[in-house]
């Protein structure tokens, strides 16, 4: 009998704890708090911009606080899905521009077209970014910032190789690489240009440079286009360039190892990536780091760069839509965008564009197909698998491109 008392007591305590915390967290919902999900890039890159926006918001709305919760790119969508299922989404969420379409098509975001005029410089939003936030003629996402791809290089190695100025064509870049290899040969495994094997953001630039594309629409259906003659020409040019200039692993990706780590260890004459790569090339080579725009195979032109970027959206279940839009207004104000620009990003409006290498590269760009299931192509690593099989020689360019095209067609045409 004593045990029954013990059992009852333990159960009571357990339930009591649950109830107490439940009521405590239940109250949380009614407190005046705006929940914002930003990626960790903001946390480490421009915390001052976030703080300024919060301050402005709190000044305009006394009694309200802003809770900024930082997310990782790797799992933020799974977490968002969980909150959508549970009905307790954040009020503002940062989404990658390639991630937007799927969620817009599913109705995850609130229509903020009516707030568009309140956002700074909204008449001059960068076309590519703005498009990624629109669906069915309505605005669901506000452009936050963009990034193009540039070449970050070691001026000392180039000088040692006897190259006086950055190349203006792909062919010239390739021949420069031979001289760079000689200049850097004291470092074992030196890459004239360190290129990961499966960096599709870079590889697809070649496809678009030669007039090809990843997919096209035909009678309301998507058709994979990587096996068209122009696309194949681009992929072949990529393969030849890669094999001539890079000693990286053919199966590696652009995040692991980070190209700037290789650069800082002295293992690369140049790396290709977002403009902010120059931040992290290490103390040793800080003074000899510079950037130039990746040249096209056509002399004098720039190779189209992938216009990556983020949008800010308001999840549909949020109960504070107007306030959320107001916070976004504060966070994408002209002064905020100028701060982001100073940190190596591309601001969200053409009226703010400067002449940094990064911004010049954005003049010629390409973007992924605006398909609902594009994110599945990315997550399914269809392009990455294609690239590693091409570079590894498992398939010819034509074979790999056909396999990928078929997979893309199937994936994009899912209901």
Binding to other proteins, residues 385-404 (CB under 8 A) = 385, 392
> Is residue 262 a contact residue for other proteins (CB under 8 A)?
yes
> Is residue 257 a contact residue for other proteins (CB under 8 A)?
yes
> Is residue 384 a contact residue for other proteins (CB under 8 A)?
yes
Q: In the range 277-316, which residues lie near other proteins by CB under 8 A?
A: 279-280, 284, 316
Report the DSSP beta bridge partners of residue 134: 139
- CB closer to other proteins out of 24 and 219: 24
> Is residue 31 a contact residue for other proteins (CB under 8 A)?
no
| Near other proteins by CB under 8 A: residue from 38, 45, 307, 403 | 45
Stretch that binds other proteins, among 111-119, 203-211, 221-229, 377-385 (CB under 8 A): 377-385
Give me the least distance between CB of 173 and other proteins, in Å please: 23
Number of residues lying near other proteins (CB under 8 A): 82
| Near other proteins by CB under 8 A: residue from 58, 156, 276, 290 | 276
Stretch that binds other proteins, among 5-13, 58-66, 115-123, 150-158 (CB under 8 A): 5-13
Residue in 315, 302, 317 with CA at minimum distance from that of residue 272: 302
> Is residue 1 a contact residue for other proteins (CB under 8 A)?
yes
| Near other proteins by CB under 8 A: residue from 59, 62, 85, 287 | 85
> Is residue 97 a contact residue for other proteins (CB under 8 A)?
no
> Is residue 186 a contact residue for other proteins (CB under 8 A)?
no
């Amino acid at each position: 009998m004593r045990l029954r008392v013990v059992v009852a007591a333990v159960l009571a305590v357990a339930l009591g704890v649950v109830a107490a915390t439940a009521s405590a967290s239940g109250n949380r919902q009614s407190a005046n708090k705006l929940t914002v999900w930003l990626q960790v890039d903001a946390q480490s890159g421009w915390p001052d911009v976030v703080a300024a926006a919060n301050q402005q918001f709190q000044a305009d709305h006394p009694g309200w606080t802003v809770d900024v919760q930082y997310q990782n790119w790797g799992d933020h969508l799974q977490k968002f899905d969980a909150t959508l299922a549970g009905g307790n989404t954040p009020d503002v969420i940062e989404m990658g521009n390639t991630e937007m379409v799927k969620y817009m098509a599913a109705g995850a975001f609130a229509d903020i077209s009516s707030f568009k005029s309140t956002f700074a410089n909204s008449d001059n939003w960068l076309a590519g970014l703005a498009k990624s936030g629109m669906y069915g003629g309505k605005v669901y996402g506000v452009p936050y910032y963009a990034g193009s791809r540039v070449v970050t290089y070691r001026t000392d190695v180039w000088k040692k190789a006897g190259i006086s100025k950055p190349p203006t064509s792909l062919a010239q870049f390739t021949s420069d690489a031979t001289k760079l290899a000689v200049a850097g040969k004291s470092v074992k495994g030196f890459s004239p240009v360190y290129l990961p094997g499966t960096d599709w953001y870079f590889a697809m630039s070649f496809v678009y440079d030669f007039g090809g594309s990843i997919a096209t629409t035909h009678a309301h259906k998507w058709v994979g286009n990587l096996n068209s003659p122009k696309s194949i020409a681009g992929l072949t040019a990529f393969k030849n360039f890669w094999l001539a200039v890079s000693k990286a692993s053919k199966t590696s990706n652009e995040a692991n190892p980070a190209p700037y780590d290789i650069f800082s260890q002295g293992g690369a004459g140049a790396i290709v990536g977002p403009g902010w790569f120059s931040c992290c090339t290490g103390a040793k080579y800080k003074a000899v780091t510079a950037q130039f725009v990746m040249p096209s195979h056509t002399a004098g032109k720039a190779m189209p760069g992938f216009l990556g970027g983020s949008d800010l959206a308001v999840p549909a279940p949020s109960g504070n839509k107007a306030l959320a839009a107001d916070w976004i207004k504060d966070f994408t104000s002209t002064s905020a965008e100028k701060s982001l620009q100073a940190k190596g990003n591309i601001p969200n409006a053409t009226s703010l564009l400067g002449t940094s290498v990064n911004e010049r590269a954005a003049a010629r760009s390409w973007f992924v197909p605006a398909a609902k299931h594009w994110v599945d192509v990315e997550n399914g690593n269809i392009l990455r698998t294609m690239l590693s099989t091409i570079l590894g020689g498992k398939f010819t360019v034509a074979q790999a491109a056909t396999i990928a095209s078929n997979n893309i067609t199937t994936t994009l045409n899912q209901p």
